[in-house]
Amino acid sequence: MILRLLLVFSLIMVSVGLGYVAWHTLVPGRDVTLATEGIEPPPPPVRILVAAQALPVATLLKDGDLVVREVPPDAVPEGVLVESDDVRAEVRGALLRRYLDAGSPILRADVLRLRDRGFLAAVLRPGTRAISIGVDAVTGAAGLIWPGDQVDLILTQEIEADGTDKGRRVAGETVLTDVRIIAVDQQIALGRSDVEEERKAPQTVTLEVTPEQAERVAVAARLGSIALSVRAVDGAVPAVIADRTGPVYGADVSAALLTPPPAVAARMRVIQGSDQQDVVLP
């Protein structure tokens, strides 16, 4: 009798378990259940832009300065930048008005966009000026320079004075060091994100300089060609490079300009009657 009751109880438990599994398989998902009960499913999170690392005032924003964070809709700060391709293009190269800690949301009030009135004046640090120079695909670092990069300016010129040694007719020298780029072409200044536009080599670069440096740049542009040399991010300069001063001449680069051409011996033909003889003079 007891065995029969245990068998019946076991069958009942198996039936309950199979029914539970079948119910979970056939019953709609939780969202559908909530909708059936009149409860709305939770809204999707909002993707906002936050600082990837600590950003000081006057930073010219790059894509690497921004990361995405998902937050609930009811926790979105007022005026925050919501992530999209258009928003990223809008703030690329924009000026940061205040210091931001890593992970801080970026608000529209925090940035001055490149097309906003007064942007160039706001970018400049106190006592500095803005001056533009023409560049091409070679002198402009192949179009890989961006606002915020630090560069050196190298002047190359030809010296055509009479009596100048051949090895010193072409000279190159660094006329300015550690200069900040604040704008690259109107393409960057307008915040365009068109891929074909970005592939074009820049034609003008605007630099932040002191008044005296602005004069040096203006004179250098008349003397010869100016090339931009991008500096490393850490700013450290090897001692060998830091100790070198003075211009570099053509003879410093090409040993051929130091080698004198082979001497041509003077020759004289002596004619005596029907005899002819060539004489080499020392």
Which tokens is 249 given? 């001449």
- Residue 191 scores a pLDDT above 50: no
The 10s digit of each residue's pLDDT in 123-175 is 788 889 999 988 876 555 555 777 778 899 999 988 876 666 777 778 889 89
- Please tell me the distance from the alpha carbon of residue 43 to that of residue 52, in angstroms, as a whole number: 26
Tokens of 59: 């930073």
**pLDDT surpasses 60 at 190:** no
List Cβ neighbours of 187 (8 Å cut-off, separation of 6 or more): 197, 198, 200, 202
- Please determine, for residue 188, whether its predicted confidence score (pLDDT) is greater than 60: no
Above pLDDT 70, what percent of the chain?
66
Q: What are the tens digits of pLDDT across the range 210-257?
A: 999 999 999 999 988 998 888 887 655 554 454 556 777 777 677 776
Residue 19 has pLDDT above 70, yes or no: no
Mean residue pLDDT of the chain comes to 76
CB atoms within 10 A of CB 92: 21
Give residue for tokens 């993707």.
47
Asked if pLDDT for residue 5 goes beyond 90, the answer is: no
Rounded-to-integer distance, Cα 174 and Cα 213, Å: 12
Work out whether strand 204-209 and strand 266-272 pair parallel, antiparallel, or are unpaired.
unpaired
Global pTM?
Answer: 0.52
Residue 124 in contact with residue 209, Cβ under 8 Å?
no
* Burial category of 113 from C-beta neighbours within 10 Å (exposed 0-12, middle 13-18, buried 19 and up): middle
Bridge-based pairing state of the strands 111-112 and 95-96: antiparallel
pLDDT of residue 282: 61
